[in-house]
Amino acid sequence: LDRSVIRDPDSAIRHLQRFADIGVTLAIDDYGAGLSSLAYLKKLPARELKIDKMFVMQLTSSNRDPLIVRSTIDLAHALEMEVVAEGVETPSALALLTVMGCDMVQGFLISRPLGYDGFRKFLDQNSLFDGAQGSPSFARPESFWKRA
């Protein structure tokens, strides 16, 4: 999609708006890296913004990344978008993102990639969320799971 937006942005935006009009949720992926820009936030009919993992993975060890992530979350919320943080691997990053108001997270702290059977098992087990057996313990906000 990135290349088509660059080649013919008006046409791409018209097509994406048609999807949005029929209820398809559009997300801007890897925001902050590559070809993403503020122009996308202004023009695309996206309802979700996914912050690139390069900012999230340095969240607790960098002076600038927390500022960038927090301002991105605030900007997205002002534009009535939900925010997903990619690459969450530590409880401290999750805690900071929660304080910052991030809506959803994805990353190895939550789960490695799973096939269907593994995903069903993951949903059936609550040990990841109750601190049992040495697993990370954290409160799961209502918006933790992506709404369908």
The verdict on whether 86 is a catalytic residue reads yes
3-state per-residue secondary structure call for 84-140: EECCCCCHHHHHHHHHHCCCEECCCCCCCCCCHHHHHHHHHCCHHHHCHHHCCCCCC
Kindly write down the DSSP assignment for every residue of 11-58, as one continuous string. Answer: HHHHHHHHHHHTTPPPEEEEETSTT--HHHHHHS--SEEEE-HHHHTT
The most distant pair of C-alpha atoms in the chain lies apart, rounded to whole Å, by 53
Q: Residues with Cβ < 8 Å from 39, sequence gap 6 or more?
A: none
104 backbone dihedrals φ, ψ, rounded to 5°: -145, 160
Among residues 48, 82, 86, 142, which one is catalytic? 86
Residue positions annotated with a catalytic role: 86
